[in-house]
Amino acid sequence: MQAWVHFVVILIIFGELSVGDEFRFASYYGEHMVLQKAPEEAVVWGYGTTGAEVQISLAGQQSEQVKSVSVLNGIWKVILDPVQAGGPYNLTVVQKGIKIVLTDVLFGDVWLCGGQSNMAFTLGQVYNASEELAIASKFPNVRVFQAALEKSSVELTDLAGVEVPWSRPTPEVLGGKDFTHFSAVCWLFGRYLYKSLNYPIGLVESCWSGTPVEAWSSLRALHRCGLKESTTSSSLSSYTDDDLIEWSSTVLWNAMIHPLLNMTIKGAIWYQGEANAQFNQDKYSCTFPAMIDDWRMAFHEGSEGQTAQDFPFGFVQLSTYRKVHNDGFPEIRWHQTADYGFVPNERMKKTFMAVAVDLPDIFSPWGSIHPRYKQDVANRLVLGARAVAYEETGVSFQGPFPNQVLIDNNTIIITYDQKIRATLSTDIFEICCSEEKKQCSSCSHWIPVPMKEQGSDYVLVTIAKCPLDNVAALRYAWSDWPCAFKACPIYSADGVLPAPLFILNRWPAES
């Protein structure tokens, strides 16, 4: 590769190429990369001399192909024929006698990882970090790439910078500087997924601490929710010891997502929402699903139809922050599901969610808003991916959710959609006690009600403190910090998946 660099320099000196016509791959292709496997077709593109012909060849034990395309407006782009999982391959491009060869290319599933600081949290910051880092190199077919932190007021064609080029996993690559190197959740998700699928996984990280969803959204998506361009203060960025940052809408979509759209991907995972707990919180039930819809449309179009227009999208429902304050986390958790309480649902199809409310970490060196239990988060995401993205049958990936609520005398009977493991609690359930026949809000009068009895798929709570006619709503785990570590009152029967929070109103919202 060094010899090729010298060759290009010589050609520029003799006038055969201009700097603007530099022949190269786009920023996110490189040796050790993973391209999307069959049945999808991987898109490869780069820069060259307008009007020139570029020959692209893929060579390996399982597949060989050669294609030729013309450079249009300084860019060449090719869609490879489908390639089954495996490798390694050599990917070669040639223009006017200049050859570039990328070696050790694998084909597998490519997942995009986005969000804010809990996604940026590195493997070197998790519990058991030394053990995790020590075994990382045992998974050479899980490859990683990370976009650099860049903002832009316009949509960029290519990434402005690369933090981690395509790499095999090593302690040095995965254990970098806090919040600025490769993501722990992204890596662990890929590692666990690889153990299930047993073929290469490519992980592309593009995230930034303290960022609101508006910064990651296109103007199209924001307009669907009645929002326009704006500048916002990220009220949570200071918890990573950063200065308070003002985020303009779309600046990260422009610089860190739009450049990736030509890439063929399998799906995406997301960990974000803290920065919207106090900003546009009431809009999040629109802005988050709208961002997902818009990413799906844009990746599908950018990859010439190779990325599925409904590609699977997983996310982490926010963990905890503070015990005694209401910082808007319950509301954001609810809005993360488009106010359904669970996913997939009618508004958010082909999505999956990792509930993290039972993973508090009060002693985290990076503040309780950054719990270190990323292994549990990643494991729950992988369960969702196996069920939703890979359509495995018999994979439990959702915590229990009510499918029937009945009031009988002074008791509410809550029946769940699956078998449960329950522990009695005096304050995890609350009722809104109100004489007004209208929908309750966070500002209404809420009363803790004790769990009286539990069965294989139901619990009973007593409402003796409120007249029957005044019970206007019921909610569960509606606080920033509702329970101790892995000790919420209600789990799936195997004790693995916590029930997500919910709120059920007796009366409809006022029109």
Cis check: omega of the bond before 39, within 30 degrees of 0: yes
Asked if 184 and 136 touch (Cβ cutoff 8 Å), the reply is no
Q: Distance between alpha carbon 90 and the CA centroid of its chain, in Å?
A: 30
Pick the CATH number of 402-505 from 1.20.1070, 2.60.40, 3.30.110, 3.40.1620: 2.60.40
pLDDT tens profile 17-39: 343 468 999 999 999 999 999 99
pLDDT for position 9: 34
pLDDT-derived band of residue 347, with 50, 70 and 90 as boundaries?
A: very high
The predicted model gives 476-500 an average pLDDT of 96
Stretch 173-193: mean pLDDT, rounded?
92
461, 368 Cβ separation under 8 angstroms: no
The model's pLDDT over 357-413, given as tens digits with 9 standing for 90+, comes to 999 999 999 999 999 999 999 999 999 999 999 999 999 999 999 999 999 888 999
pLDDT tens by residue, 292-331: 999 999 999 999 999 999 999 999 999 999 887 778 999 9
Q: Domain 107-389 sits in which CATH superfamily?
A: SGNH hydrolase (3.40.50.1110)
The fraction of the chain above a pLDDT of 90, given in percent, is 83
C-beta separation of 419 from 493 below 8 A: yes
Place of tokens 């808007």: 328
Q: Are strands 411-416 and 402-408 parallel, antiparallel or unpaired?
A: antiparallel
- The per-residue pLDDT for 234 is 52
Preceding omega of 140 cis (within 30 degrees of 0) = no
pLDDT-derived band of residue 345, with 50, 70 and 90 as boundaries?
very high
Query: How many CA atoms within 13 Å lie on the side-chain side of 204?
Result: 27
DSSP class per residue in 152-201 = -SS--SS-S-EEEEEE---HHHHS-STTTS-BHHHHHHHHHHHHHH-S-E
Q: Distance between CA 337 and CA 270 in Å, rounded?
A: 13
> Beta strands 402-408 and 351-355: pairing type?
unpaired
Predicted confidence (pLDDT) per residue in 234-286, tens digit: 544 434 434 457 798 999 999 999 999 999 999 999 999 999 998 999 999 99
Report the distance separating Cα 419 and Cα 383, nearest Å.
Answer: 18
Helix (H) or strand (E) segment spanning residue 226:
none
Question: Considering only 219-223, 346-350, 439-443, 479-483, which range has the smallest mean pLDDT?
Answer: 439-443
Mean pLDDT across the chain: 91
Indicate the pTM of the whole model: 0.93
Between 5 and 388, residue with greater pLDDT: 388
| Res 11: pLDDT | 35
pLDDT of residue 232: 61
Q: What is the pLDDT of residue 357?
A: 97
Same fold, 2-106 and 402-505: yes
Q: pLDDT grade, residue 63 (50/70/90)? A: confident
61: amino acid identity, one letter: Q
**Which homologous superfamily does the CATH classification assign to the domain defined by 2-106?**
Immunoglobulins (2.60.40.10)
Domain map (residue ranges) of the chain: 2-106, 107-389, 402-505
Q: Provide, rounded to the nearest whole percent, the portion of the chain with pLDDT above 70.
A: 93
Distance in angstroms (rounded) separating the CA atoms of residues 470 and 467: 5
Query: What is the per-residue pLDDT for 298?
Result: 98
CA 124 to mean position of chain CA atoms: 20
Chain segment 140-171, per-residue pLDDT in tens: 999 999 999 999 999 999 999 999 999 999 99
Say what the pLDDT of residue 230 is: 65
**What is the number of alpha carbons within 13 Å of residue 395 lying toward its C-beta?**
18
Higher per-residue pLDDT: 245 or 207? 207
What's residue 474's pLDDT?
Answer: 96
Identify the residue whose tokens are 């590692």. 191
- In this predicted model, what pLDDT tens digit does every residue of 75-123 receive, in sequence order? 999 999 999 999 999 999 999 999 999 999 999 999 999 999 999 999 9
Q: In what order do the strands lie in the sheet with 451-454?
A: 402-408, 411-416, 458-462, 451-454
How far is residue 382's CA from residue 373's CA, in Å, rounded to a whole number? Answer: 15
Q: How confident is the model at residue 433 (pLDDT cuts 50, 70, 90)?
A: very high
